[in-house]
Amino acid sequence: MTDTALPIQDYALLDDEECNARIIKAKEQLNGECIILGHHYQRNEVFQHADFSGDSLKLSRQAAQSQAKYIVFCGVHFMAEVADILSRPEQIAILPDMAAGCSMADMANKVKVQQCWDELATVLDVENAVTPITYINSAADLKAFCGSHEGIVCTSSNAEKILNWCFERREKVLFFPDQHLGRNTGVQMDIPLQHMVTWDFSKPMGGLSVEQIKQAKMILWKGHCSVHQAFRPEHIDEFKAKYPETKVISHPEACFEVCQKSDYIGSTENILKIVKEAEPDTRWLVATELNLVNRLHEACKDQGKNVHFMAPTLSMCSTMFRTDPQHLAWVLENLVAGHVVNQVSVSQEESALAKQALDNMLQAS
Ligand code: CIZ
Ligand code: SF4
């Protein structure tokens, strides 16, 4: 045990190979006290060290079931928060780089959502007419907001089931922060586009008329993912002009026009499953994060499958990319030295409310 935590500055200039060796050694020394979770969007240099890989929900469930004292989440901040909320009180969630946020999650915040709720209350009996539903890509205080209004969380794997749960209870939903997941799922459920309105949080009353709000079934927060908005319908047209046999699969965070032109729409887990289980010698155009697509291509190429990234310019999620081998080595060696650095901890009160919304989801899906 060292007296003080080892500083990150000592790691910044280490090369990846050295970090790699130090990560492996630290894991051995921690001897099962720590599990490393790797989200599908992590780069290979980090992903290779994960004990479990998956989407945010699968990983948090894994964390809660494990006996490990330390949960090192190689992903982004909201994921480590969910791990903290769903794990036992004595378990500690760690995010290797605290700057690993999610630009989509940042598009909604508690003050703006509360303002929206209050404005809706001027035209609707909001507590009886509207269920708030937050995509898991959101801060813990927004999950707590949902928990305190009999609302719920959803992921891209279960959005349809969760929306059905909502509509069994109340006539409308307020869906945040991702308009695209909301709209694409609503369309799959045959909800007409005119019954889905977009709440522009920079305008009074979301930029909507009283009539539009009264008629809406889904009120969609005007947020998006900067990575998934790079995919455009013309990318599909151009690719298919060259390779007409291509199957297209898109994440529901991609825009409506892209999802409409796709053969399949799926969460990260579903994209992996569909492409891996597809016939050999098939060609796939995939609209989701680059690291996942590259790994999927490597995993499937022996079956003669070709898996391509949809956008012409290669872009990865820059915040997922923040977790590098240097930060991973730093947090692990600190644990070996008896120091917890970068713990993500949600306050008890917020955690209890957020857990209600997460539990609603777990029961409903
Ligand atoms: O929930 C997740 O892990 C995310 C961000 C996407 C997905 O589709 O799995
Ligand atoms: Fe957030 Fe988009 Fe990155 Fe996912 S890909 S973590 S939604 S910014």
Flag whether pLDDT at 122 surpasses 80.
yes
Q: In this structure, is residue 3 part of a structural domain?
A: no
Whether 212 and 245 map to the same domain: the answer is no
Determine the pLDDT at residue 315.
79
Quote the ligand 1 centre to 267 CA distance (angstroms).
Answer: 6
What's the token pair of residue 4?
């003080």
Query: Sorting pLDDT into bands at 50, 70 and 90, what band is 63?
Result: confident
Q: In this structure, is residue 355 part of a structural domain?
A: no
Whole-prediction pTM:
0.97
Determine the pLDDT at residue 60.
84
Whether 277 and 296 map to the same domain: the answer is yes
Flag whether pLDDT at 347 surpasses 80.
yes
Whether 221 and 274 map to the same domain: the answer is no
Whether 40 and 141 map to the same domain: the answer is no
Q: In this structure, is residue 361 part of a structural domain?
A: no
Quote the ligand 2 centre to 281 CA distance (angstroms).
Answer: 30
CA distance 62 to 20: 24
Query: Sorting pLDDT into bands at 50, 70 and 90, what band is 61?
Result: confident
103, 224, 290, best to mutate for ligand 2 pocket (most atoms within 8 Å of CB): 103
Average pLDDT in the 16-34 region? 97
Average pLDDT in the 2-21 region? 96
Q: In this structure, is residue 339 part of a structural domain?
A: yes
- How many other CB atoms sit within 10 Å of the CB of residue 45? 17
Residue 177: cis peptide before it, omega within 30 degrees of 0: yes
Query: Sorting pLDDT into bands at 50, 70 and 90, what band is 214?
Result: very high
User: What value does the mean pLDDT of the chain take?
Assistant: 97
Q: Whose CA is nearest to atom 2 of ligand 2?
A: 225
Determine the pLDDT at residue 356.
98
Determine the pLDDT at residue 305.
98
- Of 209, 225, 241, which residue constitutes the final position of a domain? 225
CA distance 41 to 319: 10
Q: Whose CA is nearest to atom 6 of ligand 2?
A: 102
CATH of the domain at 269: 3.40.50.10800
Question: Which atom of ligand 1 lies closest to the CA of 54?
Answer: 3
333-353 burial, b if ≥16 CB within 10 A, otherwise e?
bbbbbeeebbebebeeebbeb
DSSP string, 120-183: HTTTS-HHHHEEEEEESSS-HHHHHHHHHTT-EEE-TTTHHHHHHHHHHH-SEEEEESBHHHHH
H runs (alpha helix) in the chain = 16-30, 44-47, 56-65, 77-86, 110-120, 126-129, 140-148, 159-169, 179-188, 210-215, 233-242, 256-260, 268-277, 290-300, 325-336, 348-364
Q: Provide the number of structural domains found in the chain.
A: 3
| Cβ contact 131:174 at 8 Å | yes
Q: In this structure, is residue 358 part of a structural domain?
A: no
Pocket, ligand 1, Cβ cutoff 6 A: 39, 55-57, 136-137, 155-156, 251, 267-269
Quote the ligand 2 centre to 227 CA distance (angstroms).
Answer: 7
169-212 pLDDT, tens digit each: 999 999 999 999 999 999 999 999 999 999 999 999 999 999 99
CA distance 43 to 293: 11
Determine the pLDDT at residue 365.
87
- Of 225, 258, 286, which residue constitutes the final position of a domain? 225
281-332 pLDDT, tens digit each: 999 999 999 999 999 999 999 999 999 999 998 879 999 999 999 999 999 9
Q: In this structure, is residue 352 part of a structural domain?
A: no
Whether 235 and 213 map to the same domain: the answer is no
157: domain range?
105-225
Flag whether pLDDT at 222 surpasses 90.
yes
Quote the ligand 2 centre to 101 CA distance (angstroms).
Answer: 8
CATH of the domain at 163: 3.40.50
Backbone phi, then psi, for 23, in 5-degree steps?
Answer: -65, -45
| Cβ contact 72:328 at 8 Å | yes
